[in-house]
Homo-oligomer: A and B are copies of this chain.
Amino acid sequence: MDSKIVGLRSKLEIYKAGSGGGNIADCPVRDVIQGISNKWSSLLMMALAEKPYRFGELRRLVPDISQRMLTQTLHDLQRDGYVHREVFPTKPPSVEYSLTDLGRSMFGPLHQLLQWAELNHGAVRDARNAFDATET
């Protein structure tokens, strides 16, 4: 399996697929993607792909996330099965977050996208500058 686009024909079908009907709004693939298409998910996935972290460590690692959104994003990632949450009975109790097998599996393709971003952020920046220049 290479990284070429396979089956250019029915990409929308993939998004639609599984719901049986033709309603693209309740498509399971879209449902999965939207669970990770938000401001903080990929960032936290990447942090946890490196190693497990505790709540406070993540907060310090990503200084511009609010405690509220850190709690909520970790909770959502846990609900979708990407992240495991474990409480240790220290005093005060500490909580460790780590990727599950499913999380590591999902991080594979996500990592490809992150690498693309690393290689191409210059091109994106240039496109933005050019665009902003033309519309005054």
A residues whose Cβ falls under 8 Å from a Cβ of B: 1-6, 8-9, 11-12, 14-15, 17-18, 24-25, 28-39, 41-43, 46-47, 49-50, 61-64, 78-81, 102, 105-118, 120-121, 123-128, 130-132
Chain B residues lying within 8 Å of A113, measured Cβ to Cβ, are 33, 106, 109-110, 112-113
Which secondary structure characterizes the binding site on chain A?
Answer: helix
Chain B residues lying within 8 Å of A112, measured Cβ to Cβ, are 3, 108-109, 112-113
Q: If the complex has contacts A5-B111, A115-B109, are A81 and B128 also in contact, measured as CB distance less than 8 A?
A: yes
Most buried by B among A6, A25, A31, A112: A112
27 contacts between A and B (CB under 8 A): A3-B108, A3-B109, A6-B115, A11-B46, A11-B111, A12-B46, A12-B47, A12-B61, A15-B43, A17-B118, A24-B62, A24-B64, A28-B117, A28-B125, A29-B118, A33-B42, A33-B114, A33-B117, A37-B37, A81-B124, A81-B127, A102-B123, A102-B127, A105-B116, A109-B109, A109-B115, A112-B112
Q: Is the CB of B32 within 8 A of A121?
A: yes
